[in-house]
Structure 1
Amino acid sequence: MTILGIVHILVLTVVAFRIMLFTRSGRHKPIISVLAYIIMVSAFTEVIVHITMPATVSLAQVMMEAALALALIAHHGNVAELFKATKDGSKLSQLLCWTSQKKKRKTKTNKHHEVSP
């Protein structure tokens, strides 16, 4: 097993454990929960497969997984935070999180303010 293979296993273990140890104190979002579960199980499966049958791992693959690990660490394991692009969230975030809150539109009024002399 190469050093890159060992780094690959360590990074995937960090990804899986960071998601597994995340605790949510509010309302759960079903699609995000399923996505987090898929990422966690995939990472653990890849670790087991790589330990039992070592294969070649590219540097690009390890760097991509490391970027995911860093993002998850930065957001404390919150997968939903990875999809937020702005303060209100991106369209993808709204779709995945089932947010039905619509932005309130400012109503335009044609009232002219009178100034008293």
Structure 2
Amino acid sequence: MAGYATRVRADIARWREIGLVDPATAEALTRDVAANERASLSFGSILAMMAALLFGAAILIFVAANWEAFPRLLRVAALFAVILAGYVGGAVLKTRDHAAIGEALWIVAAAAFGGSIA
């Protein structure tokens, strides 16, 4: 819905400039659009979640297949780095209004945490 709300706001501003609506009506319409705006599930957010799930599965498979080949310190450091980057990066992106990618990073970090437990 963000695309629709953005278009309506642009239309309201254009209507105000050319005199179709007075400033009070334009302000009321803009407030109404802002109040009724809702975040919808987009194809990009679904794609980000699927990519995160697949990347998480890849981490688990990689850890399971190569667990004995890596030195213990490298295993711990790599998994800790992925967990830290996932949770911190997800939190930063969530605060910057990139909710889908932030949650996808949280899924990757949770999968890495599962890999570290396994």
- Range into which the TM-score falls when normalised by the shorter chain: 0.3 to 0.5
Instruction: Identify which of structures 1 and 2 has the higher relative contact order when contacts are C-alpha pairs closer than 8 Å and 6+ apart.
Output: 1
Taking structure 1 as the reference length, the TM-score comes to 0.34
Structure with a larger share of its residues in helix: 2
Taking structure 2 as the reference length, the TM-score comes to 0.33
